[in-house]
Structure 1
Amino acid sequence: MDINLQKMNAVEFQQYHSYAIKNFANEQMKSGNWEQHEAMIKAKQEYEKLLPAGEKTVHNYLFTIRDGDQEVGMIWLTQRTNEKGFIYDINIWKGNQGKGYGKQAMKEIETVAKKIGLVSIGLHVFGHNKIAWSLYEKLGYIETNINMEKML
């Protein structure tokens, strides 16, 4: 495995952006946060707010995860303050999951974060995503707050 992070180019960003909006809308619906009729609109608005200049938005670092020449996923780190970063998204494309790419990419993004002067990285994980939750715990991430809900 020869994992490296390459800065996302405009074509890769457009492909990611289309996927990400649909995926974010679906995750919000699965979590019970948004209704189907509003999910795509809200997801588009959120991405427009977070990435107004696309892959060139200041303090945002969008990378394509590669194993040699093969694209296996993507990861997005943002610098929220001088010292704090946040991983908005990490995706390992279907067919590449379960092979250790996510773990390696998370380690690589820590190196990027240190280079830009960050001392901590936060992230969000949906409660239903047990695989991601387990990975983040193994990498040393700790829970800082938990929202819980009961359907009636």
Structure 2
Amino acid sequence: MAVILKIMRSDEFQHYLGYAIENFANEQIKSGNWQQEGAIGKAAEEYKRLLPDGLNTDNNYLFTIRDGDVKVGMVWLAKKDDNRGFIYDINIWKGNQGKGYGKQAMKQIEIIAKEIGLKVIGLHVFGHNKVARGLYEQLGYIETNIKMEKSL
């Protein structure tokens, strides 16, 4: 496995955006944050707010994760201030999950983060995503706050 991160091309971004909006809406619904009705619209608004200029939005770095010529996923890193970054999204496409691509991509994004002057990287993970939480813990990420709720 030779995982590399390549700057996302315009066509790859359009494909990702369609997937990401639907996926984000579904994750928000699954987490109990949003209702089904209107979720896609809310997700689209959030992506437009975060990436107003798409791939050309300042201080945002979107990469296609590749293993040789095969596209196995994507990762989005944003520079928040002088030394802090935030991973808004990392996805390993179906059929490629469970093969170590996520771990390798996270290591590569840390190298890139250092190159652009970041000292800290944050990320959000939904509580129900135990696989991702386990991966991040293995890589040295620590929980900085936890939101809990109970349905009545």
Any residues of structure 2 matched to 1:54-73 within 5 Å, and which? 54-73=54-73
Any residues of structure 2 matched to 1:2-151 within 5 Å, and which? 2-151=2-151
Q: Which runs of 5+ in 1 are unaligned?
A: none
TM-score (norm 1): 0.99
**Structure 1 vs Structure 2: percent identity of aligned residues?**
68
- What do you get for the CA RMSD once the two structures are aligned? 0.3
Aligned equivalents of 2:148, 2:81: Cα separation in 1:
28
Aligned equivalents of 1:118, 1:145: Cα separation in 2:
21
Aligned equivalents of 1:98, 1:44: Cα separation in 2:
29
The alpha carbon displacement at 1:38 in A equals: 1.8
SS of residue in 2 equivalent to 1:36? coil
Q: Runs ≥4 in structure 1, deviation > 6 angstroms?
A: none
The alpha carbon displacement at 1:56 in A equals: 1.0
The alpha carbon displacement at 1:45 in A equals: 0.4
SS of residue in 1 equivalent to 2:96? coil
Q: Which runs of 5+ in 2 are unaligned?
A: none
Length, aligned pairs only: 152
The alpha carbon displacement at 1:98 in A equals: 0.1
